[in-house]
Amino acid sequence: MSRQRELTEADLREKRGQGPDTSRLRYLDSSMCRFYPGNFAALHLEITGIWVYGGVYAAYCFPVERRSEFIAIIQSRRRGDDLEIGIVRRLDDFPADQAELVRSALQRRYFFHTISRIRRIGWDGGYVSMRVDTDKGPVDFLMRWSNDRAVSFGSDGKLLIDVDDNRYLIPRVDALPPRERSSFTRIIYW
């Protein structure tokens, strides 16, 4: 027989529909909550015995280095403000089906193409022109030559943002073949 945890005053306020205690950090774990799918692939979170938060989204606290840790669970509200429900410290501690729901939500939020090859990089009318192979197929794109359009991603990656604000990730520049790396760093050297 599982023993239920004793509810704190903050838990009781939340149970009455007054929302979580946002004055303190709350870590979410599988012993106190569960994720489940809603309509139209919406993510829902149930704080066991307390409250159900519908239509939540997940956001990385450390998007580069800790892809399965420290994930904020947030609910957008009609008033325009967001309500942070808590932080998932380690996603791998949740059952596989629930962790996959959160990962899917993160992929929808952080959509980018991962570059596997650079076929061509050069100049075109004052813009950097690239032809690349990505995890979603071959792509040609233009980007402004500016340090806010090619930002560091982790210790050796680059996130490239094209003129239409699409995002392209090179996880590790040093893992590119030597010729491609040389061509890339000749233009994107910061």
Domain boundaries, the chain: 9-109, 113-187
How many angstroms separate the CA atoms of 107 and 67, rounded? 11
Residue pLDDT, tens place only, 117-170: 999 999 999 999 999 999 999 999 999 999 999 999 988 999 999 999 899 999
pLDDT at residue 61 greater than cutoff 60: yes
How many angstroms separate the CA atoms of 30 and 99, rounded? 10
Helix ranges restricted to H, the chain: 9-13, 96-109, 178-187
- What would the mean pLDDT of 65-76 be, rounded to a whole number? 89
**Using 50, 70 and 90 to split pLDDT, how confident is the model at 17?**
confident
Residue pLDDT, tens place only, 72-109: 999 988 777 889 999 999 999 999 999 999 999 998 88
Contact status, residue 64 vs residue 77, Cβ threshold 8 Å: no
Starting from the edge strand earliest in sequence, which strands make up the sheet with 33-37, in order? Answer: 27-28, 82-90, 69-76, 51-60, 43-47, 33-37
pTM of structure: 0.70
